Amino acid sequence: MSDAVTSGKGLWTGSYYNEGHGGHDGLFDKLKEECGVFGVFGHPDAASLSYYGLHALQHRGQESAGICTADADNFHYFRGMGLVKEVFDQSNLPTLVGTSAIAHVRYSTAGESKLANAQPLVFKYREGDLAVATNGNLVNAGEIRQQLEKQGSIFQTTSDTEVVAHLIARSKHDDIVDAVKDALQQVIGAYAFLILTKDKLIAALDPNGLRPFAMGKLGDAYLFASESCAFDIVGGTYMRDLLPGELLVLDRNGLTEDRFTESQTRATCAMEYIYFARPDSDIDAINVHSARKRMGKRLASEAFVDADLVTGVPDSSTSAAIGFAEQTGIPYELGLIKNRYTGRTFIQPSQELREQGVKMKLSAVRKVVEGKRVVMIDDSIVRGTTSLRIVNLLREAGATEVHVRISSPPFQNPCFYGIDTPSRKDLIAAQKTIEEIRQAINADSLYFLTQEGLIDSIGRKDGVENGGFCTGCFDNRYVTYVNDSENAVGCGC
């Protein structure tokens, strides 16, 4: 039986002082990153490092943030709704003492925006205190939850993370590492887990390695993060990514490299390279910006079009646009500019403003595009509404032709592994032909990168099917059991 810890410093306070970003962004139709984790073992400033690490991972979740530290005697934790800089300040960060920490930023699907789900989740179990933070989604969490509830378990949250905490607490093993292995052997899905006790930090990656999870070092301290860019910000260095099915344990004996299961088909999320991850991150030692540039080059080889300039939809398509320009010799220009300061708005926009909504976030640069044939590179098309608005922005600014090139295959299927996607009926590529999509977004021409082109561009020579990448949202082939009747599954964090 797990109870939320109610003692110790830095209890979370329930300050709902803003509504956050929960749910789909009605103004900008993009897929949502879903959660980032950061961990530290063996550093006197574990909380401060976590704070900066979370800043670097802020793009993966803006709904809530939390840090839990451990010293020899106690856990200290604080969680709140909002951005990292809004949740933590001089009144709470210094209370988070200890040399180890786990930390989390969360994006939630609509309706789940509440502090109870903010992580790290902290529990008491028979062997002591336990804190858990995760990124991903368990496809069998609902079934396990039902079974546990029938057996008397009471859940405090709607998060998959709590399911794993219950499984750990109910394990027949007293040793925490054995209990974690036991729990993870029962769940199916995509996950990067960080588990903290007073004397151990455990990191584990799902058997297919679906979510990114990197290990780094800072002096003698060990760091873990959803993306390696979080190591740079604290002056750490990237060592390697966790292997599928791997379980790493840090305690007073140092690092123990272990496994909780045999590695299965590797299937790193291809969308991390295409869109989610920051360009300065390396995943499996492959730099994300460089991979995107190669996607742009490949796109140019597969679907050249004569034009006056190439522009990318900022920020995630800039790298691919540079690659397209390099390959073709067509100049790269800043035809579209992102307004970086829209952030949260306090009012719901009226329908009229919503119609124009994309202008709050993007502007076409008239002096650059006027009278020009433009190649517009974007990373994906989800519902198609944003693409139409951006093409129209360019046309209103005087572009004579707009040729759209997408640096991924058509996004036709929902994700079951922790990415918040609309249901199939709302995915334009699942409902229309390429020619119909071209007409719907008002483009002069439209081309999507082939799946082969995508995998070659990322460039990992795994020698396994699909290059060792998950491409389920493109080809409807998922590496685990999924319950497709649910159609779309958001983040289970």
The alpha carbon of 447 is separated from its chain's Cα centroid by a whole number of angstroms, namely 26
What is the rounded CA–CA span in Å between residue 465 and residue 273?
A: 18
* Residue set of the binding site: 269, 316, 378-379, 415, 470, 473
Residues 473-492 that bind ligand SF4 (CB under 6 A): 473
Which range, of 7-15, 48-56, 265-273, 400-408, touches ligand SF4 by CB under 6 A?
A: 265-273
- When the beta carbons of 78 and 411 are compared against ligand SF4, the nearer one is 411
What is the rounded CA–CA span in Å between residue 251 and residue 480?
A: 32
Provide the residue type at 170 as one letter: R
Instruction: By CB under 6 A, tell whether 269 contacts ligand SF4.
Output: yes
Instruction: By CB under 6 A, tell whether 429 contacts ligand SF4.
Output: no
Q: Specify whether the CB–CB gap between 285 and 461 falls below 8 A.
A: no
Least distance in angstroms from the C-beta of 168 to ligand SF4: 25
Instruction: By CB under 6 A, tell whether 419 contacts ligand SF4.
Output: yes
Which one of 228, 328, 471, 480 is in contact with ligand SF4 (CB under 6 A)?
Answer: 471
- When the beta carbons of 138 and 270 are compared against ligand SF4, the nearer one is 270
Provide the residue type at 41 as one letter: F
User: Before 120, cis peptide (omega within 30)?
Assistant: yes
- When the beta carbons of 86 and 484 are compared against ligand SF4, the nearer one is 484
Q: Specify whether the CB–CB gap between 161 and 41 falls below 8 A.
A: no
Question: Which member of 35, 68, 229, 491 is catalytic?
Answer: 35
Which range, of 58-66, 73-81, 414-422, 442-450, touches ligand SF4 by CB under 6 A?
A: 414-422
Contacts of 460 (CB under 8 A, 6+ apart): 268, 284, 286, 467, 468, 469
Q: How far is it between the farthest Cα atoms of the chain?
A: 71
- When the beta carbons of 42 and 409 are compared against ligand SF4, the nearer one is 409
Which one of 101, 133, 169, 415 is in contact with ligand SF4 (CB under 6 A)?
Answer: 415
Shortest CA distance to 422 belongs to which of 35, 32, 158? 32
CB atoms within 10 A of CB 193: 28
Which range, of 154-162, 364-372, 437-445, 466-474, touches ligand SF4 by CB under 6 A?
A: 466-474
Exposed / middle / buried, residue 335 (Cβ in 10 Å: 0-12, 13-18, 19+): buried
Least distance in angstroms from the C-beta of 31 to ligand SF4: 7
Which range, of 7-15, 172-180, 399-407, 470-478, touches ligand SF4 by CB under 6 A?
A: 470-478
Instruction: By CB under 6 A, tell whether 470 contacts ligand SF4.
Output: yes
Phi-psi region of 145 (alpha: psi -120 to 50; beta: other; left: phi over 0): alpha
**Residues binding ligand SF4: what is the number (CB under 6 A)?**
11
Least distance in angstroms from the C-beta of 463 to ligand SF4: 19
Instruction: By CB under 6 A, tell whether 270 contacts ligand SF4.
Output: yes
- When the beta carbons of 28 and 155 are compared against ligand SF4, the nearer one is 28
Residues 189-248 that bind ligand SF4 (CB under 6 A): 210
- When the beta carbons of 38 and 478 are compared against ligand SF4, the nearer one is 478
Structure tokens at 229: 């860019």
Instruction: By CB under 6 A, tell whether 472 contacts ligand SF4.
Output: yes
What is the rounded CA–CA span in Å between residue 195 and residue 204?
A: 9
* Residue set of the binding site for Mg(2+): 316, 378-379
Which one of 138, 164, 250, 271 is in contact with ligand SF4 (CB under 6 A)?
Answer: 271
Long-range contacts of 94-97 (CB under 8 A, 24+ apart): 94/47, 95/9, 95/10, 96/9, 96/10, 96/46, 96/47, 96/50, 96/67, 96/68, 96/69, 97/9, 97/47, 97/69, 97/71
Please confirm, yes or no, whether 491 is among the known catalytic residues.
no
Least distance in angstroms from the C-beta of 468 to ligand SF4: 12
- When the beta carbons of 272 and 333 are compared against ligand SF4, the nearer one is 272
Q: Which residues of this chain interact with ligand SF4, rule CB under 6 A?
A: 210, 269-271, 415, 417, 419, 470-473
- The catalytic site residues sit at 35
